[in-house]
Amino acid sequence: MSEMLDFLGTAEQAVATAAEVIRTGLGRERSISGKGDRDYATDLDYAVEDAVREFLAAETPDVPLLGEERGRTGNTESHYEWVLDPIDGTVNFAHGSPLYAVSLALTRNGMPVVGVVEAPVAEERFTAALGHGAALNKHPLTVRGPSALADAVVAFGDFGVTPESERRNAQRLELFRRLVPRIQRVRMLGTAALDMCWTAAGRVDAAYHSFINPWDVAAGVVIAREAGALVTDLDGVDYDTSATSIIACNPDLHRALLAEIAS
């Protein structure tokens, strides 16, 4: 078995552990801690991250980990890194919405090579490893093919909530003003990890985020690419974890969307 598939197996076990922590904690009262202006984490975000950290430290002690809640730890010399969002879609989760997911990627020199995203309520696990295809609960995934903007359902990232987001939000509103009359529908799921996976599964045709962190999308990048999507930043440069924006969809639609964004 290839090294990538070994890592995928480890990632699946780690995410299964995480999903179990979430299922066990569901229905209990949540404690919420503020991280910034309208930005917070629940006790389960921390509990899930800690459980995954413990599992991966035992299984792959030489591979460092970057997690949304506790930052970067481990061997700084490694070319590999685990990238974890314990609960992507925290605001949805805290509101009782089922649209949230655990997202775990393995990156090699900043390029995502293994991805597992699990939505515990739907009992859906999206998986991919470089060169081995993408799957949803073991069924192969392929992106949908519309090339015309008029046929495209596009999932957008949240608007920013910090004062520094004002300029970006204004640009996004301007983009909406131009795109909305041209595309089929806008979607805003509130979880970038699922935006990427739903693109891979053809439930939406594109995912577009003008500001993004690596833990939100790294796993979804492998899943979308292995399902046939082109995944770049908004300048059209292939996505790696140094990117701060992302667009994922089939190559023809990608060309049409980038042209519209640049116009």
120 interacts with ligand IPD by CB under 6 A = no
Nearest to 125 by CA among 136, 133, 115: 136
What residues are paired with 113 via a beta bridge?
A: none
Please, what is the minimum distance in Å from the beta carbon of residue 126 to ligand IPD? Answer: 15
85 interacts with ligand IPD by CB under 6 A = yes
158 interacts with ligand IPD by CB under 6 A = yes
The DSSP call for residue 80 is: E
Please, what is the minimum distance in Å from the beta carbon of residue 140 to ligand IPD? Answer: 25
The DSSP call for residue 238 is: B
Of these, 63, 117, 192, 200, which contacts ligand IPD (CB under 6 A)?
Answer: 192
Of these, 89, 146, 214, 228, which contacts ligand IPD (CB under 6 A)?
Answer: 89
> Within 10 A of 15 (CB to CB), how many other CB atoms are there?
27
What distance in Å separates the CA atoms of residue 125 and residue 117, rounded to the nearest whole number? 6
Please, what is the minimum distance in Å from the beta carbon of residue 210 to ligand IPD? Answer: 9
113 exposed, middle or buried (CB, 10 Å; 0-12, 13-18, 19+)? buried
3 exposed, middle or buried (CB, 10 Å; 0-12, 13-18, 19+)? exposed
Do residues 183 and 129 lie in contact, with contact meaning Cβ atoms separated by under 8 Å? no
Q: Which stretch binds ligand IPD (CB under 6 A): 24-32, 141-149, 184-192, 196-204?
A: 184-192
Please, what is the minimum distance in Å from the beta carbon of residue 39 to ligand IPD? Answer: 7
49 interacts with ligand IPD by CB under 6 A = no
The residue with tokens 């979804």 is 220
216 interacts with ligand IPD by CB under 6 A = yes
157 interacts with ligand IPD by CB under 6 A = yes
Please, what is the minimum distance in Å from the beta carbon of residue 91 to ligand IPD? Answer: 6
Q: Can you give the binding site for ligand IPD, defined by CB under 6 A?
A: 68, 85, 88-90, 157-158, 190-192, 209, 212, 216
